[in-house]
Amino acid sequence: MRDRESAAEPLPYAEVTDEGYATRVAETFSVRRYGPAVLLSGDCPRCQHPISCPIVGEVFRRVASQASVELGYRTLLCSCAAEHPDRPDGLAGCGAYWTVTLEVES
């Protein structure tokens, strides 16, 4: 589901979410452990720019693609470094957000 904005013109900032975002993140993001935190890395499901989302708290094993035993939920926000027109000062990313489900390491 790529939009026309994958062409040259930059995607305008918009605070939006979509069911497909979380699905794509579960399929494509990598999860790396850094001590008590995990770092989710991949391409933003809206603007396609690379982003990294540190998550601190419980110890997560991976992004779950479906519900299983013990899960954590986090809402992530695009934090890419690319320019997006109409973005408020002081913010990063394209405005996209989504909720990921994470398997908790037992």
Positions 68 through 97 that interact with Zn ion (CB under 5 A) = 78, 80, 94, 96
Q: Least distance from C-beta 88 to Zn ion, angstroms?
A: 15
Q: Is 46 in the site for Zn ion (CB under 5 A)?
A: yes
Q: Is 24 in the site for Zn ion (CB under 5 A)?
A: no
Q: Which is nearer to Zn ion, 24 or 103 (CB)?
A: 24
CB of 46 to Zn ion, least distance (A): 5
Among 25, 47, 55, 76, binds Zn ion (CB under 5 A): 47
Please name which of 9, 2, 7 lies closest in space to residue 83, comparing C-alpha atoms: 9
HEC profile of the chain? CCCHHHCCCCCCCCCCCCHHHHHHHHHHCEEEEECCEEEEEEECCCCCCEEEEEEECCCEEEECCCCCCCEEEEEEECCCCCCCCCCCCCCCCCCCEEEEEEEECC
Q: Is 22 in the site for Zn ion (CB under 5 A)?
A: no
- Write down the residue that tokens 């110890």 correspond to: 59
CB nearer to Zn ion: pick between 64 and 80: 80
- Chain residues in the site for Zn ion (CB under 5 A): 44, 46-47, 78, 80, 94, 96
